[in-house]
Structure 1
Amino acid sequence: IFYSFIYVIIQLQDLALLFGSIGLFVIVACLMYFTVKINWNKSDYKPAIA
């Protein structure tokens, strides 16, 4: 899929910037959608009560 995307961008020289920007936007949007439920601040560390 990646190589076909690069091939299409190379063939569309006049619209390469537009299609490249749209492609990057779609990739970032997918990453944000699939990682929205990950709790990045979750820690398994439990301090001992003294």
Structure 2
Amino acid sequence: MPSTNLKHQVEQEHSSSEPNLKGTLISVSVVGGFLVLSWLAVFGLFLAR
């Protein structure tokens, strides 16, 4: 019969080593917002001409 202690130990190692990704989400959102705004600005220039 397999040992359940090993499974529990592996689960604890994974849960404690997960990084906080809040800063990553904010950074990706800022870059995505910049891309959308720049695309809309260029599209607006295209329509104005």
Question: Which bin holds the TM-score, normalised by the shorter protein?
Answer: 0.3 to 0.5
Higher relative contact order (CA 8 A, sep 6+): 1
**TM-score computed with the length of structure 1 as normaliser:** 0.46
**TM-score computed with the length of structure 2 as normaliser:** 0.46
Higher helix share: 2
Larger Cα-atom Rg = 2
